[in-house]
Structure 1
Amino acid sequence: MSPFMPEQFAAVQKSSLNQLFALTNMAFDGFQKLTELNLQAVRTTLAEGQGNIEAVLAGKDLREVFAVQGNLAQPAAEKAVAYARHVYEIASNTQVELTKAVEGQYEQHNRNVQAFVDNFVKNAPAGSEAITALLQSSVAAASSTFQSFQDAAKQTAEVAKANFAKTAAAASGAAQQAAPRASKQ
């Protein structure tokens, strides 16, 4: 009996295509969310820009104009930080979804390979112990390597998240300190 039947091959191909389409849809959903965020940011920026120009033009003297301009610095910086946070959340959530899908696919693939190896070992002819041992150790090594990469990727994501939080807090603090200075000028 052949380990690869045409029906099994077709099923594997169909499953692979379904997984590809699922991953593509996840990536497209993330892109759509990012596009919607950008459109919302542009719309808000245009509306606020118009309001800011009207406020500056309504100033009766130079002091009022500078006061209005000084009051714009902090909200702009806070909005930039909020925008960056939203972009990070979209990217992070999309990455988490893609990672879960890929991990699920890998686990299924790993189970299939392990079943193939177990079947091969069970039906191996006498004298092929070295080959079966090599095959088993190769599968174990590949699984261990994947787990190491997966752990490293999770640690990297956690470090990036922590660094982003620190950077956002620092930028927000800098904006709060800059606003009073700008309004005094």
Structure 2
Amino acid sequence: MTTAQQQFSAFATEQVEVALRFARISIDSAERIIKLQVEVAKSTLESNAKNANALVAVKDAQEALALRQKLAESSIEQATNYSRSLYEIASQAQVEASQLVEERTTAFNKHVVSGLDQFVKSAPAGADVAVAAVKSTLQATAAAVDSLTKAAKQVADFADASVKAAGTATADAVKTAAKKTNGANAAAV
């Protein structure tokens, strides 16, 4: 086998491995989402059965209002927990995919530099200046990609914190509003 054929074979094998890693990331994430949805469906079914029994046992308007408050808070909490879990799964998949892309970018740059080094060995005199310029460009590009990756990570971290804070704030606001409504309804009764 010639060197070019060996290099092509190694490149093809590497690309298949990368595609398989992307597929594993996607399938693992889908599997976790499906598992989450099944768990939520089971939990919702159990919760609805308990709620139906509690509604049947209501004896007066005061108890009905208190139950309504409790059910509203429970529903909001369940929805918030589901959203958080779903967001965590998506975030983890994004992190894994980003790591893979970063690894591939680094490997690509190393291959290009290695190829340039081999070219320099067999290149005519004076080509080393052009190769140095290409290497410099690659290093600048790698630094730019690294900066963009770091900036994207900071944005993702900020978005993650914002989503978590928004979820908590929403749940707290609904609880507060429900308590005020419940208090007004109790006063009216």
The farther-off stretch of 160-169 and 136-145 is 136-145
SS of the aligned residue for 2:24 comes to helix
Rounded to whole Å, the distance in 2 between the matches of 1:28 and 1:47 is: 29
Q: How does 1:161-180 map to 2 (within 5 A)?
A: 161-180=160-179
Q: Which residue in 2 is equivalent to 1:154? A: 153
Q: Which residue in 2 is equivalent to 1:77? A: 76
- CA positional deviation for 1:101: 2.1
Where structure 2 has 5 or more consecutive residues not aligned to the other structure, the ranges are: none
Rounded to whole Å, the distance in 1 between the matches of 2:16 and 2:124 is: 36
Runs of 4+ with >3 A deviation: none
Where structure 1 has 5 or more consecutive residues not aligned to the other structure, the ranges are: none
Rounded to whole Å, the distance in 1 between the matches of 2:149 and 2:120 is: 28
Q: Report if the CA contact (8 A) 1:71-1:179 is conserved.
A: no
Q: Which residue in 2 is equivalent to 1:26? A: 25
Q: Which residue in 1 is equivalent to 2:120? A: 121
Q: Which residue in 2 is equivalent to 1:13? A: 12
Rounded to whole Å, the distance in 2 between the matches of 1:149 and 1:38 is: 34
Q: Which residue in 2 is equivalent to 1:44? A: 43
Sequence identity (%)? 30
Aligned: 1:92 with 2:102: no
**1:32 is matched by which residue type in structure 2?**
E
Structure with more contact order per residue of length (Cα contacts < 8 Å, sep ≥ 6): 1
Rounded to whole Å, the distance in 2 between the matches of 1:54 and 1:94 is: 40
Rounded to whole Å, the distance in 2 between the matches of 1:31 and 1:19 is: 18
Name the TM-score, length of structure 2 as normaliser: 0.87
Q: Report if the CA contact (8 A) 1:30-1:90 is conserved.
A: yes
SS of the aligned residue for 1:59 comes to coil
- CA positional deviation for 1:141: 2.8
Q: Which residue in 2 is equivalent to 1:137? A: 136
SS of the aligned residue for 1:136 comes to helix
- CA positional deviation for 1:129: 4.4
Name the TM-score, length of structure 1 as normaliser: 0.88
SS of the aligned residue for 2:59 comes to coil
- CA positional deviation for 1:136: 1.9
